[in-house]
Amino acid sequence: MPRRYDPERRQRIIDAAIRVVGEKGIAGLSHRTVAAEADVPLGSTTYHFKTLDDLLVAALRQANEGFAKVIASRGGLEDPHTDLAAELAGWMGEWLAGDRTGVELEYELYLAALRRPALRPVAAEWAQDLADRLSRRTDAVTARALVALMDGICLQALLTETSYDEEYARDVLRRVIP
């Protein structure tokens, strides 16, 4: 039987991996579960992603795009007169107000780097990219502190299942910004 041309197959596999992790957690991820979810032959998943870590790296890169899209859509970093604390608090509010499952998935993949060294460079890239963006408005040390604080605020909102408090976030962020 001739091989069917399927240029979107790799992307469908990544999307399926994200859905599997969203439904079953990282422990439920396997080439077999992803192949079934993507409706592709098992060999396709191993062809495109030799290891599960390779697949998780691709999924994390794609998941990281969610917060990056929020940042890009707001554009507040370009204006030096924008209240930086208010802008950052707004970013988090917009991101957390979106698809909560997607936000949880992003953090699950991000935190998977604790046990999967292959994911650490991608997690570090995300944090560094955000710090670089923030460095346009503040010094590098403050930018890194803001990234850490924003991570903490988001994790607390997700783990405690409380509503995001944008006023609190804005006030705390202002304490870090010189």
Confidence of residue 1 (pLDDT cuts 50, 70, 90): very low
Rounded to 5°, the CA angle 171-177-178 comes to 125
State the pTM of this model. Answer: 0.81
Confidence of residue 2 (pLDDT cuts 50, 70, 90): very low
Sign of CA dihedral 42, 47, 52, 57: negative
Class in CATH terms, 1-50: mainly alpha
Residue owning tokens 């929020």:
70
Short-list 75, 64, 73, 81, CA closest to 147: 64
Domain extent listing, the chain: 1-50, 59-176
**pLDDT of 142 strictly over 80:** yes
**pLDDT of 3 strictly over 70:** no
Asked if 1-50 and 59-176 have one fold, the answer is: no
Confidence of residue 110 (pLDDT cuts 50, 70, 90): confident
CB neighbours of residue 36 within 10 Å: 14
Short-list 82, 16, 4, CA closest to 91: 82
For 61-91, write each residue's pLDDT tens digit: 888 776 777 777 777 777 888 899 999 999 8
Fold of 59-176: Tetracycline Repressor; domain 2 (1.10.357)
